[in-house]
Amino acid sequence: MFAGDGRLLGPTRVRVAATDGSELILEGRHILVATGSRPRTVPGVVIDNHRVLDNAGALRLPAIPRSLAILGAGAVGTEFASLFTAFGAAVTLIEMMPAILPLEDEDVSAVVAHELGRRGVAIRTGTAVTGVAASADGVRIGVRDGAVEETIEAEYALVAVGRAPVIEDLGLEAVGLEPRRGGIPVDGRMRTAVPSVWAAGDVIGGLLLAHVASAEATVAVEAIAGQEPRGLDPMLMPRATYSIPQVACCGLTEREAREQGREVAVGRFPFTANARAAILGRREGFVKIVADRTLGEILGIHMVGSEVTELLPEGVLGKALEATVLEIGQAVHAHPTLSEAVKEAALAALGRAVHG
């Protein structure tokens, strides 16, 4: 391993500017680019990690802030809102889109919004950030909701508007690669347009998640080794948000399925009717399955509730193996378990839920 900044010099050569000031040239038959991503920011807002923080800066705070304004209510924003409100901070969550977690199923987003609001988080959706002014004592955030402009004050601001692939200063032009704003284009085996150069992880865009990056790297390395790896299907990639309550999803949302013209059957089962959830005292949330009405094919599975990220693999595997909601519903699930909600949601899609 060599610590330093790497830059492509050609299809098989990399220059490393080492941290000790030295420089060396590495050569190999293949090069794998896996430079990851960095936090995005709002136009005109500078992240200084003193008063205006990214997610790493928020975790390095010396004490729990009295108040925190979070810019962006996607996965990172809702996770940090859950974290800091649990520690006693007054949290304001600001989102430009009409709902928090705007990429997830609307029913799921509504539950998380309700639970965060119940725990004291002030949620401002449909609200654009117009500027952030930092001082020694805190931050003043200019926002606009329709025609109304106002200022929100907090001790710190956390910018959580997503991440951007790290593609600058890599020497991509030296090998003839033209990255897009969303990352380095690759084929199903993670190979770029230059046969000896591969890329995997956040740098290629798509779902910027650790487990997805790991799977992409595995595909790339197996292909480099001459194996025949199976490509990754974006519809089979699990999405997990560690908010309180958790969110776990895979595949199409109900809206996406309908917009594609699919005839859908929707099964939904609440944890209020699940024995294990009652035992744990965590009865908020549900499991929702979106299926093809005719074939019973699972198009998407969406969960919100306590530890639902542990339930998602059943849905991912079922979708990967093209199991139908009938087959999921007929599988015997142990009692009392949270996973019984998956079975019941599958049966609900058929109009046959036992306890719903």
Is the distance from CB of 146 to CB of 130 less than 8 angstroms? no
* Amino acid 181: pLDDT: 80
Please check the confidence at residue 83 and state whether its pLDDT lies above 90.
yes
pLDDT tens across 276-304, in order? Answer: 999 999 999 999 999 999 999 999 999 99
| Catalytic residue set | 335
User: What is the set of domains in the chain, with CATH numbers?
Assistant: 4-33+166-232 (3.50.50.60), 52-163 (3.50.50.60), 236-349 (3.30.390.30)
pLDDT tens across 156-204, in order? Answer: 999 999 999 999 999 998 899 988 888 999 999 999 999 999 999 999 9
* Amino acid 182: pLDDT: 85
Task: Tell me what percent of the residues of the chain surpass a pLDDT of 90.
Answer: 94
Q: pTM, whole model, 2 decimals?
A: 0.93
Please check the confidence at residue 101 and state whether its pLDDT lies above 90.
yes
* Amino acid 124: pLDDT: 98
Q: Token match 């928090």: residue?
A: 100
Confidence of residue 356 (pLDDT cuts 50, 70, 90): low
* Amino acid 258: pLDDT: 97
Mean pLDDT for 146-159 is 96
Catalogue the E-assigned strands of the chain. Answer: 4-10, 13-18, 23-27, 31-33, 37-39, 52-53, 67-71, 90-94, 122-124, 128-134, 139-145, 148-154, 156-159, 163-165, 197-199, 239-241, 246-251, 264-270, 286-292, 298-305
* Greater model confidence, 355 or 330: 330
Task: Tell me what percent of the residues of the chain surpass a pLDDT of 70.
Answer: 100
Q: What is the mean pLDDT of the chain?
A: 96
* Amino acid 38: pLDDT: 95
Nearest to 146 by CA among 171, 173, 125, 164: 125
Nearest to 193 by CA among 170, 217, 175: 175
